[in-house]
Structure 1
Amino acid sequence: MSFDEIDKTFGTKNRDQGYDMLKARLDKGDRSVEVLWRMAQVIHERSACMPKAQRKAAINDGLKFAEEAVQKDSNHFKALKWNAVLIGQATEYMPTKEKLECSKKFKELLDKSLAKEPKDTALLHLRGRYKFSVASLTWLEKKLASTFYQQPPSHSYEEANEDFLAAYKVNPKWMENLFFIAKCYVALKDKNNARKYLTELCDIEPYSDAEQEFLDDAKAMLSKL
């Protein structure tokens, strides 16, 4: 199976077939950047369809492939992108100190990726997530962040939402992005807009375990508004 054929399995129910073909290439010793970033992507996709308890191990596995891809070619867009995506995912399972320490590398990868493809929706969403997490830092977490940054980052929920809304314009049915748009509006005490985007989210059929979790969380959030 060619890379073009493998790529056609991404984002579909045939992703496992793509994974198997990439694994076969790896087993034959092919650790080229083209194999490695694709392994990172397909593992990312597969992890979304796993129960939450199993997701962390898969994400860390995918991250290893992404990091190796960047080591092979530090200017390869897809390698940079999937390294950023998987670091972003991995930080969700980290304690605060480790998350803050890792955020610096994450932001560097994100900036480098966005410099190459400034309209990539996944990267815009990730930048929004980064800004959202910074805006959400407690005073104590900001003090801790100062140990990793000469000038600790500062962002607002409005800035985060600009990126989420930019991604929304391209992909309005992305449940995860809709959820974070709503979270921004909740943080900004704009209940009407929060309800609007949560309602849109709740009208979408979930495609994976991860999307079902966003749907459940959205319904819970909506019930409190």
Structure 2
Amino acid sequence: MMSSVESYFHAIDSITAVGEFSEKSIGEALLKIEQLKFEDVPAEHRCGVLRRRAEFLYLLSNYATDKEKRVEMLEQAYQQALQGHVMDGTDFECAKVLCSTCGRLAEESSLKKKLDYGFKFKTYLDEALAVNNGDFELTHMRGRFCYTVASLSFVERMAAKVVGQIPDVSYKDALKDLLKAEELEEDVAENQLFIGKTYLALNDFVNAKKWLMKTVSNISDVPVEQEYYDEANALLQDKRLKSIKL
């Protein structure tokens, strides 16, 4: 039999059931979880509260069109997930949200914070993958991380070396993980975009166009997902791709 807190979690989670995500439903779920008095929650469920706060904030950030607002929400999500991870390092779902928030902050922040979050992200990602190396989100994030590191400019690499040791990864490493992620869960625009970008970096223009075309076919009204569509569409204007007929 479920405890009252577990029943409460079940009711909250049902608001954002798979396939029913919306800005409204996520906002409602966040409001309900924030109404819990944390000090009254049994110790064994506190990580669950923090994880859900972090997850809902992360999901809501996808609807923020203002970058500063998005980063602010991601930072709040990161702090909640980190607190939950420190509280219970065995909670895999919390570890995943920590990776997601930290990884996005590494992409969205200025250079100094980008590097700091990037090194933290690699640590969290390795810990989570040690628990489950067959998870779509983690596999995608590792491929995306490899792509980002392989794409660093000379200036960025010099700055990163001041912070820590840069992993020795390549575009081929990125592609391996991104294609594996596609096998684990098909038709995710975010993953398709990075597959296309990786093929483009490898000068495989036929496959680059193929995957970017798949990305633009995934229309969404979620602002951050619309950005994937816009980026893929812009890349398809490259004359090297426009000349290719599929």
TM-score by length of 2: 0.84
Kindly provide the CA deviation profile for residues 32-81 of structure 1, in whole angstroms up to 9, marking residues without a partner as x.
10100111111111111221432111111111111111121122212211
CA distance in 1, matches of 2:203, 2:191: 18
Kindly provide the CA deviation profile for residues 151-192 of structure 1, in whole angstroms up to 9, marking residues without a partner as x.
431111110111111111122221111111111011011111
The question of 1:4 aligning with 2:10 is answered yes
Please report how far the alpha carbon of residue 82 of structure 1 lies from its aligned counterpart in structure 2 after TM superposition. 0.9
Which blocks of at least 5 consecutive residues in structure 1 are unaligned? Answer: none
The question of 1:214 aligning with 2:220 is answered no
Q: Which residue of 1 aligns with 2:120?
A: 105
Kindly provide the CA deviation profile for residues 77-113 of structure 1, in whole angstroms up to 9, marking residues without a partner as x.
1221111110111112322233223322211100111
Return closer, same or farther for 1:20/1:145 CA change in 2, 3 Å cut-off: same
Q: Which residue of 2 aligns with 1:142?
A: 157
Q: After superposition, where does 1:68-217 map in structure 2 within 5 Å?
A: 68-149=83-164, 151-217=165-231
CA distance in 2, matches of 1:26, 1:125: 35
CA distance in 1, matches of 2:175, 2:47: 33
User: Is the 2:212–2:236 Cα contact (8 Å) retained in structure 1?
Assistant: yes
SS in 2 for 1:97: helix
Which moves more between the two structures, 181-190 or 3-12? 3-12
Please report how far the alpha carbon of residue 26 of structure 1 lies from its aligned counterpart in structure 2 after TM superposition. 4.5
Match of 2:26 among 10, 15, 22: 15
User: Is the 2:146–2:173 Cα contact (8 Å) retained in structure 1?
Assistant: yes
Please report how far the alpha carbon of residue 18 of structure 1 lies from its aligned counterpart in structure 2 after TM superposition. 1.6
Letter in 1 for 2:100: V
Which blocks of at least 5 consecutive residues in structure 2 are unaligned? Answer: 1-6, 242-246
User: Is the 1:40–1:65 Cα contact (8 Å) retained in structure 2?
Assistant: yes
Which moves more between the two structures, 51-60 or 24-33? 24-33
User: Is the 1:81–1:113 Cα contact (8 Å) retained in structure 2?
Assistant: yes
Letter in 2 for 1:124: T
SS in 2 for 1:147: helix
User: Is the 2:57–2:77 Cα contact (8 Å) retained in structure 1?
Assistant: yes
User: Is the 2:38–2:46 Cα contact (8 Å) retained in structure 1?
Assistant: no
Percent of aligned positions that are identical: 29
SS in 2 for 1:25: coil
User: Is the 1:52–1:210 Cα contact (8 Å) retained in structure 2?
Assistant: no
User: Is the 1:26–1:35 Cα contact (8 Å) retained in structure 2?
Assistant: no
CA distance in 2, matches of 1:84, 1:71: 13
Q: Which residue of 2 aligns with 1:59?
A: 74
Return closer, same or farther for 1:107/1:26 CA change in 2, 3 Å cut-off: farther
User: Is the 1:33–1:69 Cα contact (8 Å) retained in structure 2?
Assistant: yes
Letter in 1 for 2:32: M
Larger Rg, first or second structure (1 or 2) = 2
CA distance in 2, matches of 1:27, 1:153: 39
